[in-house]
A = this chain, B = another copy of it.
C-alpha cells in the first residue's frame, strides 16, 4: 500500500499515515511503528529513495518511488489476490447475541449504523469530487471504482441494520 501511495506522489511517512487514516481508511490503516520501518526497508531494497527536505529546520524525509519500486508494484498488482478479509466484531457480537439478548444486539446495530452513516457521507463527498475531476488523471477512475464499492456496500449495511433491528424488536415484544 505504501509503495502504491508513493507511485502516485512523493510523500513523508507522516503524510502516508494521515492518508491511511483519512480518506483511505477504507483500504486499511497502519501505525507509525510499521510505516517508518517499512519505508526504510523499501529504501534498503532499492524501491524508494529518501530525501531530506531542507525547506525548514523540520526534519522532514520525503520518500519517492524508484523504477524498481514501480516494477515491483506492477508485479504485485499482477499477482492474484491472496486474502480478502472482513473482520467485523459487530457481526461476531450479533452472532453470539443470544447470550446477551435482543436489546444488547440492537445497541450494537445502532452503533454500527451510526458509524456506517458517517462513512457513507464521506464516501458520497469523495464520489462527487472524483466525478468532477475524472478527466484530469486516469488514476481517478480507479479511485472512483473503489469509492463506488464503499457506497454500495455501505448502503447494503444500512438496509441490513433496518431489517435486523425490526426483526429483533418484534422478537423482543413477543418475549414480554
CB within 8 Å of B: which residues of A? 1, 4, 7, 24, 26-28, 70, 73-74, 77-78, 80-100, 104-105, 108, 111-112, 115, 138-139, 141-143, 145-146, 148-149, 152-153, 155-157, 159-160, 163-164, 167-168, 171
Instruction: Give 12 new A-B contacts, CB below 8 A, not counting A7-B96, A83-B87, A152-B159.
Output: A4-B95, A27-B91, A27-B92, A77-B93, A80-B108, A80-B111, A81-B89, A84-B90, A145-B168, A148-B160, A152-B160, A155-B156
* Complex-state Cα separation, A154 to B24, whole angstroms: 22
Q: Which residues of B contact A84 (CB under 8 A)?
A: 87-90, 112, 115
Q: Is the CB of B95 within 8 A of A143?
A: yes
> Are B4 and A94 neighbours in the complex by a CB distance under 8 Å?
no
Q: Which residue of B lies closest to A85 (CB)?
A: B87
Q: Can you tell how many copies of this chain the complex includes?
A: 2
CA distance A94 to B147 in the complex (A): 10
- Which of A98, A157, A167 has its CB near the most chain B CB atoms (within 10 A)? A98
A141 to B171, CA, bound (A): 9
